[in-house]
């Protein structure tokens, strides 16, 4: 046990990492050299709560009194027990989460940013406690999960004062884990807060990415966290109809100079182009000068044509076929990671068509009475609605639902903007949430994101009328609310808007 003669007297961080510690004060050499926060040398008092309610697959929740007052963490925080208990209990919780997150038949060689984050957990408390929180939520221990989440946020906040920590891969991983926690477990009595907190983590992710040169994202864990983290940034930009972050020549090329772009990277580029088209459309609508307005209208049309061509080129590179969600192969074996990745790309391909065509319809001059066949989003909305059950199949894992969540939300947004055009399609998209277990959780998150993007006077309008009103304002007028921060230092210093 901790404090027993003969056991390690090293700092808490070195003991957790199982590294030799020279016990230098106030910061040991191991932690200083690795750019880690030194946990100090206080003795740990450990408590095991054996009387709390646990579910069939649950294990006891561990927590202790913390002596780390120098970190400003308060007197009582969730922390880890001694080394044996840490391995036996905390790893069990994390294992339960990973079993629920990944599809049942995932390949041993598959790669996902969660796996990258999992490798980083032993050297970073923010990552470690984020995983513990996800594991606690997975077994229904919400109260302790929230405490663990708050502790992880405080650990990240403490680390952001160190330049080496700000630019570390583990900080990127922590931001992404916080976003995942908000998606599934961020429901709040205030319907605005879940979306707002998710967005705060995405803003933090962007600011942290931009503290490093794009050359530092060319290989290894950094490349994986950057390329997959870009998706969160692009979704947030489309949601707010703002220009895509990192959508400059250097950020679209340098991180791939050593590892060529995948089909996923290419479709993310198209999401970036779509967000710029939405921002240009709003700039055009706000323009009072007739000549400039006409020029902006031409610019949007030309950009839309280029994006349409990019979609066709991408489909050719994919071999001209996309996932058929009704074929026998998918029906009998829908859970492998390779299938899910391909299915997600299919969903994104359809979603870009829905957004592109809906935006073109909204700026058609003169206004349309009937939608031309060549820009009709209905077939793509129906394809997305019919594909959604695939992502919620038994054994598909949380990651599958997470992949489908934001395409589902953006498709609903486009459909709600002109509900008279898409009455049947809206019913299909909504009916799925009523028929599928777990889909309501995602739907509440999507609604909170929609409220977060709306002008204040429309953000708290409830019911179906509120959903339609906000979608119409999103499609036909630029949102008044400015997201993000004007400089990275302010964004980072104000980061960590966690649960109170």
CATH of the domain at 30: 4.10.240.10
Three-state DSSP class for residue 76: strand
What per-residue confidence (pLDDT) applies to 69?
A: 32
Query: Could you tell me the two tokens for 490?
Result: 């302010």
Contact criterion met (CB below 8 Å) for 2 and 44: yes
Residue-level pLDDT at 301: 95
Compute the distance between CA of residue 399 and CA of residue 393 in angstroms, rounded to an integer: 12
- Report residue 155 as tokens: 């650990």
Residue 415, CA atoms < 13 Å, CB-side half-sphere: 24
How does 201-229 read in b/e, with b if 16+ C-beta sit within 10 Å?
A: bbbbbbbbbbebebebbbeebbbbbbbbb
Cβ density class 305-342: b for 16+ within 10 Å, e for less: eebbebbeebeeebeeebbebeeeebeeebbbbebbbb
3-state secondary structure (DSSP) of residue 48? strand
- Exposed e or buried b for every residue in 16-37, given b needs 16+ CB within 10 A? bbebebeeeeeebebbeebbbb
Closest CA to 282 of 235, 248, 238: 238
Q: What span, in angstroms and rounded, lies between the C-alpha atoms of 38 and 106? A: 37
What was the pLDDT predicted at 483?
A: 40
Render pLDDT for 388-415 as a digit per residue (tens, 0 to 9): 888 888 778 888 888 888 899 999 999 9
> Domain for residue 433, yes or no?
yes
What pLDDT, on the 0 to 100 scale, is given for residue 306? 97
| 360 occurs within a structural domain | yes
Can you give the pLDDT at residue 359? 94
Task: For residue 89, give the nearest of 63, 61, 64 by alpha carbon.
Answer: 61
User: Tell me: the pLDDT tens digits for 216-274?
Assistant: 999 999 999 999 999 999 999 999 999 998 999 999 999 999 999 999 999 999 999 99
- In this structure, is residue 406 part of a structural domain? yes
Q: Output the six-digit token pair for 78.
A: 């969730």
* Within-domain flag for 155: no
For residue 292, the tally of other CB atoms under 10 A from its CB is 12
- Would residue 361 be called left, alpha or beta, if left means φ above 0 and alpha means ψ between -120 and 50 degrees? alpha
In whole angstroms, give the CA distance from residue 22 to residue 27.
Answer: 10
* Number of domain units in the chain: 2
The separation between CA 202 and the C-alpha centre of its own chain, rounded to angstroms, equals 7
The answer to whether 348 touches 267, Cβ cutoff 8 Å, is yes
Element containing residue 359 per DSSP (H, E): helix 337-362
Overall pTM surpassing 0.85 (yes/no)? no
pLDDT value of residue 42: 54
Residues of the chain with pLDDT under 50: 1-7, 43-85, 108-110, 327-335, 479-490, 496-500
Give dist(CA 47, CA 43) in Å, integer: 13
Quick check: is 134 in a domain?
no
Burial class (CB in 10 A: 0-12, 13-18, 19+), 139: buried
User: Is residue 493 a part of any domain in this protein?
Assistant: no
Distance CA 192, CA 194 (A): 6
User: Is 451 a domain residue?
Assistant: yes
| CA–CA separation, 463 and 86 (whole Å) | 46
Extract the tokens encoding 446: 């999507």
pLDDT (0 to 100) of residue 307: 97
- β-pairing, 76-77 vs 62-65, is antiparallel
Is residue 263 in a domain?
yes
- Would you call 79 exposed, middle or buried from its count of C-beta atoms within 10 A (0-12, 13-18, 19+)? buried
| Among the listed residues 378, 388, 332, the one whose alpha carbon sits nearest the alpha carbon of residue 353 | 378
The token pair that represents 239 in the structure block? 């949601």
CA proximity to 147, closest of 159, 136, 160, 156: 136
Domain that holds residue 1: 1-43
What's the Cα-to-Cα distance from 281 to each of 290, 346, 482, rounded to whole Å? 15, 26, 16
**pLDDT value for 184:** 87
Please give the pLDDT value at position 408: 92
CA of residue 142 relative to chain centroid, distance: 20
């Amino acid at each position: 046990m901790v404090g027993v003669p003969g056991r390690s007297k090293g700092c808490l961080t070195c003991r957790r990492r199982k590294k030799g510690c020279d016990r230098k004060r106030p910061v040991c050499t191991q932690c200083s050299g690795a750019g880690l926060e030194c946990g100090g040398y206080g003795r740990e008092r450990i408590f095991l709560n054996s009387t709390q309610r646990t579910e069939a697959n649950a294990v006891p929740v561990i927590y202790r009194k913390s002596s780390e007052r120098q970190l400003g963490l308060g007197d009582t925080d969730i922390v880890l027990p001694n080394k044996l208990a840490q391995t036996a209990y905390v790893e069990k919780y994390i294992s339960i989460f990973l079993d629920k997150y990944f599809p049942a038949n995932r390949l041993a060689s598959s790669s996902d940013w969660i796996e990258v984050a999992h490798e980083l957990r032993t050297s970073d408390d923010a990552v470690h406690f984020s995983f513990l929180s996800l594991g606690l939520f997975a077994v229904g221990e919400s109260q302790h999960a929230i405490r663990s989440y708050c502790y992880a946020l405080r650990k990240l906040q403490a680390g952001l004062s160190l330049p080496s920590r700000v630019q570390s891969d583990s900080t990127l991983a922590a931001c992404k884990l916080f976003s995942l926690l908000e998606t599934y477990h961020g429901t709040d009595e205030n319907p605005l807060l879940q979306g707002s907190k998710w967005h705060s983590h995405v803003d933090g992710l962007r600011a942290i990415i931009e503290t490093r040169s794009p050359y530092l994202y060319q290989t290894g864990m950094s490349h994986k966290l950057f390329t997959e983290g870009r998706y969160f940034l692009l979704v947030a930009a489309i949601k707010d109809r703002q220009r895509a972050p990192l959508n400059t020549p250097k950020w679209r090329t340098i991180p791939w100079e050593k590892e060529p772009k995948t089909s996923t990277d290419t479709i993310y580029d198209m999401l970036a182009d779509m967000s710029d088209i939405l921002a240009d459309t709003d700039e055009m609508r706000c323009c009072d000068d007739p000549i400039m307005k006409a020029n902006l209208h031409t610019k949007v049309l030309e950009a839309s044509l280029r994006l349409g061509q990019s979609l066709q080129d991408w489909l050719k590179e994919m071999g001209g076929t996309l996932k058929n969600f009704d074929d026998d192969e998918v029906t009998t074996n829908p859970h492998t990671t390779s299938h899910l990745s391909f299915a997600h790309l299919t969903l994104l391909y359809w979603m870009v068509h829905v957004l592109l065509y809906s935006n073109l319809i909204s700026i058609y001059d003169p206004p349309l009475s009937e939608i031309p066949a060549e820009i009709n989003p209905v077939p793509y909305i129906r394809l997305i609605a019919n594909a959604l059950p695939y992502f919620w199949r038994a054994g598909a894992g949380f990651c599958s639902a997470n992949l489908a969540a934001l395409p589902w939300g953006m498709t609903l947004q486009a459909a709600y903007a002109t509900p008279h055009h898409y009455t049947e399609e809206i019913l299909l998209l909504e009916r799925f949430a009523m028929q599928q277990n777990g889909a309501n959780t995602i739907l509440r998150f999507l609604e909170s994101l929609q409220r977060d993007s709306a002008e204040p006077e429309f953000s708290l309008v409830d019911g179906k009328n509120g959903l339609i009103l906000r979608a119409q304002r999103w499609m036909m007028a630029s949102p008044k609310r400015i997201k993000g921060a004007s400089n990275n230092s302010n964004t980072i210093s104000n980061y960590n808007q966690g649960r109170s």
